[in-house]
């Protein structure tokens, strides 16, 4: 399937879309809602589009997660259980994606995104200074379940995973948006890498196109991550809310009214 012939202009505008997606995804998540529809519009079959998107998005996720780690906005020691849950969830989700009907995902996804949008609008303001997590077995259970559910979602579909990680991390652990974004970027990288390896074994990747988009997405992610780190939660919050609302509106329109 990787020998699919694409129109020449596709090689120009898809990397441009990937750059914008990388910038948005590094700040608020949801960049995949630009790249996946773009790949489908370019003529890629659904499974090939999902696999190719994983290749390109892994570039951006690695860049953004490294930027947050270097600025000490993410502590790996506090999130080991979440990382393991994410890896296992992503593996399970990617392996089962071939057995799920696309129309089911198209109908259910808008409801999940709308729920995240409503929570984001209504959630109380979080103090910017909160960055450490409480300890205990209960925390490990929450992290494991959070990682498994969101990792599985990323393996099955993907777009919006970063936004879901941010909103759930703020809700479960009361972290500020900046540190929650650091967690989201890192866990998104883990699930992307796991899903990418699985899609590669299944043969669902257009390597040349994915590498071209990944390079552009990496630049966008680098700029987006540094903008988020520099301007903090006051910069992240309005962009995050806007992205989630756009995601919800777009998916609901396509799933419930166009189809």
How would you write the pLDDT of the chain (259 residues) with one tens digit per residue? 445 656 778 888 999 989 988 888 777 666 777 788 788 888 888 888 888 989 998 988 888 889 888 888 888 888 999 999 999 999 999 998 777 665 665 566 566 656 655 665 665 554 454 555 655 556 788 899 999 999 998 888 777 788 788 888 888 888 888 888 889 989 999 999 999 999 999 888 999 999 999 999 999 988 988 887 887 666 666 766 676 677 667 666 766 775 5
62: tokens are 């690695």
Q: What is the pTM of this model?
A: 0.75
Query: What are the Cα distances from residue 74, in Å, to 36, 66, 133, 206, 208?
Result: 28, 9, 11, 32, 32
Residue 59, both tokens: 């570039």
């Amino acid at each position: 399937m990787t020998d699919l012939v694409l129109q020449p202009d596709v090689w120009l505008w898809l990397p441009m879309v990937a750059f914008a997606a990388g910038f948005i995804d590094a700040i608020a998540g949801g960049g995949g809602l630009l790249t996946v529809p773009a790949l489908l519009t370019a003529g890629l079959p659904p499974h090939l589009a999902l696999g190719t998107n994983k290749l390109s998005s892994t570039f951006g996720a690695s860049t953004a997660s490294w930027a947050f780690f270097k600025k000490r906005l993410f502590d790996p020691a506090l999130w080991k259980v979440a990382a393991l849950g994410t890896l296992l969830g992503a593996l399970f989700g990617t392996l089962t994606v071939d057995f799920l009907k696309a129309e089911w995902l198209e109908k259910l996804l808008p409801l999940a995104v709308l729920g995240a949008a409503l929570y984001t609008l209504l959630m109380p303001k979080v103090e910017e200074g909160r960055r450490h997590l409480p300890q205990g077995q209960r925390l490990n259970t929450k992290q494991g379940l959070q990682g498994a559910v969101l990792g599985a979602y990323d393996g099955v579909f993907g777009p919006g995973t970063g936004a879901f990680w941010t909103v759930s991390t703020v809700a479960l652990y009361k972290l500020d948006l900046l540190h929650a974004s650091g967690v989201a970027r890192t866990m998104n990288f883990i699930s992307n890498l796991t899903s990418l390896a699985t899609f590669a074994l299944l043969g669902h990747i257009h390597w040349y196109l994915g590498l071209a988009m990944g390079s552009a997405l990496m630049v966008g992610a680098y700029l987006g991550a540094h903008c988020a780190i520099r301007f903090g939660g006051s910069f992240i919050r309005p962009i995050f809310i806007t992205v989630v609302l756009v995601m919800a509106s777009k998916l609901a329109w396509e799933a419930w009214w166009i189809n």
